[in-house]
Homo-oligomer: A and B are copies of this chain.
Amino acid sequence: MSTSARALASCALTTLKRGAAMCCLCALPALAVDLMPTGDLGLVVERASGSLLQVNTSRHAILRRIEGLGDLSHASLVFSRDERFAFVFGRDGGLTKVDMLTGAIIKRVIQSGNSIGGAISQDGRIVAAANYTPGGVKFFDADSLELLAEVPTDSKVVGLEDSTDNRFAFSLWENARGEGEIWVADLSENPRAPRITKFPNIGKQPYDALISPDGRWYVAGLFGEKGVAVLDMWHPERGVKRALPDYGKTDPKLPVYKMPHLETWAMVGNLAFIPGVGRHEVVIVDVSTWQQVGTIPVAGQPVFVIARPDGRHLWVNFAFPHYDTVQVIDVEARQIIKTLQPGKAVLHMEFTPRGEQVWLSVRDSNRVEIYDTRTQTKRTELPAQAPSGIFFTPRAHRFGL
């Protein structure tokens, strides 16, 4: 260890014994407090208490609880490209910048009445927030959270995703004529003056969207009718195409307990594995043709269908009343190889970047469970207050996360 590092370590301890960070000292060796890398960190949203649990995926440790983030009942977050900061989008319209190294809230702005999510630009300099109330998208400087630009939409905005060249795509739930739209904002030339391209009449009530891992395909799901709307971000001039004419809400008498989160469509090679809406099945789509090529029956209405990073397995959780169940699907065999019962209200699943672990948030059991993905067995669990979303820092290096 260098002289400076050793000195730092000692004065860090002295400081911290008097300092604010006692909560995490117990779990951590001295050096990890003042010299902590950020590649194996994560945040778990505690939805009821408006707090975040900071975790370490190498040591399966809770580092600290970060409080004061407002209403996190429907929260998401993105990480800065250096993994130092998290930008948290709260239900109350709050945008909070959290320091992963100190646990401090650097800045918090209430940027709208009701926010549904956000994204960060390819170069990491621009944070974007999509708003329900009053609608529109706002772009902020990632360093200062200064407002760079605002794009009003006269509609609730959903499915905001980042793509290449500092472009963002998002969907309008319903314009004045009752139609859904997709807009692309290009901030590559001037972040204070986004160039907007509008694609009108893409279908009724887009409710969520995803972008493929390569940043190319922007896909919006429709609540008001069947099918999805697809935009090729390599060729926006080709316009929005409709696809999967049979995909979506089916018999109105069949209840849909929860519309699936499209952001988590699992892409494996040219195949996408997507949650059937209101059906007990995973739908297989060939994205080179955007045709449905099969289905896999599962235990309930899927909410998240997430591919293990190597693409060999899918992990699926479900809407009420099957929200106590998780199933693992073998992609090649297209068959369920394991059914787990972690506990009530499994809300989210997050893989470590090379996929050896998956973390599950079990809301009503107030714990996060950590599984070995090779054996699909539980390694350990951590206490958490009504956990929902789990976000690991390597998301910083990917599109649409």
Q: Is the CB of A396 within 8 A of B39?
A: yes
Tell me if A365 is interfacial: C-beta within 8 Å of chain B.
no
Of the candidates B35, B79, B165, the one whose C-beta lies within 8 Å of that of A102 is B35
Tell me if A251 is interfacial: C-beta within 8 Å of chain B.
no
Q: Is the CB of A234 within 8 A of B312?
A: yes
Which chain B positions have C-beta within 8 A of A269? 269-270, 288
Shortest distance from the beta carbon of A238 to any chain B beta carbon, whole Å? 12
Tell me if A397 is interfacial: C-beta within 8 Å of chain B.
yes
CA–CA, A161 and B243, complex, Å? 39
Which chain B positions have C-beta within 8 A of A309? 214
Q: Is the CB of A15 within 8 A of B20?
A: no
Shortest distance from the beta carbon of A124 to any chain B beta carbon, whole Å? 7
Shortest distance from the beta carbon of A374 to any chain B beta carbon, whole Å? 5
A288 to chain B: closest residue by CB? B269
Dominant secondary structure of chain A at its interface with chain B: loop
Tell me if A237 is interfacial: C-beta within 8 Å of chain B.
no
Which chain B positions have C-beta within 8 A of A4? 12, 15-16, 19-21, 33, 102
CA–CA, A104 and B2, complex, Å? 6
CA–CA, A103 and B216, complex, Å? 38
Which chain B positions have C-beta within 8 A of A20? 2-4
CA–CA, A165 and B372, complex, Å? 10
A35 to chain B: closest residue by CB? B101
Q: Is the CB of B37 within 8 A of A34?
A: no
Which chain B positions have C-beta within 8 A of A39? 38-39, 79-84, 393, 396-397
- The size of the chain A interface, using a CB distance under 8 A, is 69
Shortest distance from the beta carbon of A373 to any chain B beta carbon, whole Å? 9
Question: Known contacts A12-B8, A15-B7, A270-B269; is A38 also within 8 Å of B355 by CB?
Answer: no
* Interface positions of A from 363 to 401, Cβ below 8 Å from B: 374, 393-394, 396-399
Which chain B positions have C-beta within 8 A of A295? none
Tell me if A246 is interfacial: C-beta within 8 Å of chain B.
no
Tell me if A164 is interfacial: C-beta within 8 Å of chain B.
yes
A165 to chain B: closest residue by CB? B374
For A80-93 the 0/1 string (1 means CB < 8 A from B) is 11111000000000
Shortest distance from the beta carbon of A397 to any chain B beta carbon, whole Å? 3
Tell me if A311 is interfacial: C-beta within 8 Å of chain B.
yes
A125 to chain B: closest residue by CB? B58
Q: Is the CB of B38 within 8 A of A83?
A: yes
Shortest distance from the beta carbon of A60 to any chain B beta carbon, whole Å? 12
Tell me if A353 is interfacial: C-beta within 8 Å of chain B.
yes
Tell me if A188 is interfacial: C-beta within 8 Å of chain B.
yes
Q: Is the CB of B100 within 8 A of A37?
A: yes
Tell me if A123 is interfacial: C-beta within 8 Å of chain B.
yes
Which chain B positions have C-beta within 8 A of A311? 214, 216
CA–CA, A197 and B311, complex, Å? 23
29 CB-based A-B contacts, threshold 8 Å: A1-B102, A1-B104, A2-B20, A2-B21, A4-B19, A4-B21, A8-B34, A11-B11, A34-B35, A35-B102, A37-B82, A37-B83, A39-B79, A39-B81, A57-B81, A58-B81, A81-B352, A83-B83, A122-B355, A122-B356, A123-B354, A164-B356, A215-B310, A269-B288, A270-B270, A353-B396, A353-B397, A354-B398, A354-B399
Known: A4-B33, A122-B356, A353-B396. 10 other contacts (CB 8 A): A1-B99, A1-B102, A2-B104, A3-B20, A5-B104, A8-B8, A34-B35, A37-B37, A37-B82, A354-B399
